[in-house]
Amino acid sequence: MLAQTRIALITCTDAWEIDDDAPLLVQALADQQILAEPAIWDSPEIDWSSYTAAVLRSPWDYTERPSEFLAALEQIQLSTKVLNPLAVLRWNIDKHYLADLAKAGLPVVPTEFLSDLTSFEEQVFPIEGRFVVKPTISSGSRNTAQYGQSDRAEARAHLEQLLEAGYQVMVQPYIDSVEDVGETGMVFFLDEFSHGFRKGALLTEGIAPVAGLYAPEAITPRVPSPAQLELAHRALQITRERCGTDSLLYARVDVLEGSDGQPQLLELELTEPSYFLRTDAASPARAAAAYARALA
């Protein structure tokens, strides 16, 4: 690969400095003779045509301006290659994709979607147990909160606040296994499994929704089970077929253990996932090698 290969890692104001993956990824890419530079997605001063590609890294404020963000990516694509492909990003930016995956036969955490207050009915909240309310366009657990049955009034107020602000909203049961088993995340580069991790519970019942760029997370290494890996590969295959792409440069599949002990898909992160490279010493090199192959 030519030494002058230069790519943009798309980020946003205030995010680059707190992106734990960034320094590891940049160094690993340099070892592949790829110069990776942060580029703020809405900056008018960037010459995107000077880059071989623009890869989404940490544009975490897009949830506040999703239409503007997608329009910016469309403009960037006129000047350079955008990864993941724009067709994938358009689909994945809104968590309605979970409904598509469920229709395709994947075991997905049960999800109810609301588009406005007129569609609200009290039974959208589970009749027992805890549940989660969040926008369909969100990242890092922003504007997300957990509620119990005694908090239904607060949950409705949160839901109404989101709808009135222009968000569409999703409601999911709180899966109790997150407390002890935790989430299992699986990171893929060019559709090949790289590494797994455990994510501890993020939400505490009755605590106000997170308003910053992301919620602090407790991340530790984990080897996923064969059933979890099988579910992840199925999700990626369905995505490639649906979006008409041969490969995904990066992907993160997050699953939870259902009441039957089997994995359920919680999220399929194809837009701006954290890779949690610090959980696996060899993962930065694997990521950089995949980037190099995608740029070849």
Q: Tokens standing for 246?
A: 């041969």
Between 88 and 204, name the one with better pLDDT. 88
Q: In this model, does residue 215 exceed pLDDT 90?
A: no
Integer Cα distance of 175 and 161 in angstroms = 24
Q: In this model, does residue 202 exceed pLDDT 70?
A: no
Residues 6+ apart with CB under 8 A from 75: 48
- Averaged over 191-208, what is the pLDDT? 79
The pLDDT value recorded for residue 232 is: 99
Share of the chain above pLDDT 90, in %: 85
Residues 22-71 have pLDDT tens digits of 999 999 999 999 999 999 999 999 999 999 999 999 999 999 999 999 99
Domains of the chain: 6-92 (3.40.50.20)
Ordered DSSP codes for 74-103: HHHHTTSEEES-HHHHHHHTSTTHHHHHHH
Give the β-pairing of 263-269 and 35-40.
unpaired
Share of the chain above pLDDT 70, in %: 94
Q: In this model, does residue 158 exceed pLDDT 50?
A: yes
Q: In this model, does residue 205 exceed pLDDT 80?
A: no
Between vectors from CA 274 to CA 160 and to CA 98, what angle results, nearest 5°? 50
Alpha helices, H only, 18-124 = 21-31, 66-77, 86-92, 97-103
pTM, whole model, 2 decimals? Answer: 0.92
The pLDDT value recorded for residue 152 is: 92
Q: How confident is the model at residue 1 (pLDDT cuts 50, 70, 90)?
A: very low
Residues 61-73 have pLDDT tens digits of 999 999 999 999 9
